[in-house]
Amino acid sequence: MMRGRTLFNGMVGVALAIAVVLAGPVAGAQAGEIKIGALIPLTGFASGFGQNQKVGLELAVEEINAAGGINGNTLEVITYDTESKGEKAIFGFRRLATQDKVLAVLGPFLSTEAEVCFPLANKYEIISFSASAAKPGLAAKHRPFGFTNSTSDMDTLPPAVDYWQKTHNIKKVCIVTDIKDALNKSTGKIVMPMLFEKRGIEIIGTSDFVTGEMDFSAHVSKFKGLNPDGIAVSCTVADAAGFVKEARKQGLTQPFIGGVAIQTPKFLELAGKDADGTVTAASFWVESLDAQSQAFVKAFRKLYEGRAPNPFAANMHENVFIIKKLIEDMGGLSGDLAADRKKIQQGLAGLKSFKGVTGTFSMLETGTVDKSGYVLIAREGEWERPE
């Protein structure tokens, strides 16, 4: 099976980015090769997410090639590592757009990376299609070439907050926020306060830190003295797990709620039993009864040593198939790179009723998707839907 190639540039310590380039004849001619790549954090603080997403990418490529490719052209993936850093993502994006002459960019992963790459997408008139950048308003700010197939906490968290509030009679909360990460800063400073205020939930304490903090004892001690009914965690996976474990170590029993950043099996793995009862929301659930979703989860587990896909791996899997659909809808590539890039942008902007592994959705004028979500609760190492 073709699982793609991962390239590294020793001069800059980066693995660079995604590309979809026609390396053979256009549709109607002799079959050739279409190359795609991805901007994924394979190292750095977001590597747990990135490794999971890379499997979703590779699985989609394998499935497409096994079914005959795209108009008879073989799909090949070239993956580059952003190291979870915006500057590395910038370097990769520029190289893809100007040197590698790619058709489209799938990625980057983080909202902080997308904030610096989406402007480049508009400069070079080439789509940047993230499967995970979920900061509210991010794609809308960078029309027309910035896109994301990922729901924001503003979209998915409301029903989770409702469930959390009703189940635990939440009246007073504390919020811990990673203010370095763009997504978590937005969720902890804007989204969660807005949702809590609308529901009459009082915020009695906040605590801020930056990505990678190892000692959460002071933050937990602060909240312990305030005695909230619940604690909202807006952090990346490892930090969220570290905070939760420290809270339980200090004897806090309050229920936790988190946003999109913890919607992953890795959080449950790192936090262990201390994660039990944590509430979140997601646009993808591994136990969905949808046949297409079940087939994806089964194939993913087989490819990734039994581990489950996170929502961002599911979104990336869809993104590859969306690129396939757009090329087919165009009747194949013309060979005029600038024109083909614009056709891909136009096709993605007008995407309607696409059926993927997370469900059926369309692209909105804001450059994001209209996906619905699930309320999930952590129980014994699994994300489950409340009864």
Q: What confidence tens digit (pLDDT) does each residue in 153-201 have?
A: 888 899 999 999 999 999 999 999 999 988 899 999 999 999 999 999 9
Contact 118, 142 (CB under 8 A): yes
Interacting residues of 340 by C-beta distance below 8 A, sequence separation 6+: 22, 103, 330, 333, 334
Task: State how far Cα 346 lies from the chain centre.
Answer: 23
Can you give the pTM of this predicted structure? 0.80
Q: Estimate the crossing angle of helix 291-303 against helix 311-329, to 10 degrees.
A: 110
Report the C-alpha gap between 104 and 346 in whole angstroms: 12
153-282 CATH: 3.40.50.2300
Interacting residues of 216 by C-beta distance below 8 A, sequence separation 6+: 176, 209, 239, 242, 243, 246, 247
**Ranges in the chain annotated CATH 3.40.50.2300:** 5-151+290-361, 153-282
Task: List the chain pLDDT tens, one digit each, 387 residues.
Answer: 334 444 433 333 333 333 333 333 333 333 578 877 789 999 998 888 899 999 999 999 999 999 999 999 888 777 789 999 999 999 999 988 898 888 899 999 999 999 999 999 999 999 999 999 988 899 999 999 999 999 888 888 999 999 999 999 999 999 999 999 888 999 999 999 999 999 999 999 999 999 888 899 999 999 999 999 999 999 988 999 999 999 999 999 999 999 988 888 889 999 999 999 999 998 888 888 899 999 999 999 999 999 889 889 999 999 999 999 999 999 998 888 899 899 999 999 999 999 999 999 999 999 999 987 789 999 999 889 997
What number of other Cβ atoms are within 10 A of residue 249's Cβ? 12
Interacting residues of 6 by C-beta distance below 8 A, sequence separation 6+: 15, 42, 78, 79, 80, 81
| Whether CATH 3.40.50.2300 fits 5-151+290-361 | yes
DSSP state at residue 144: T
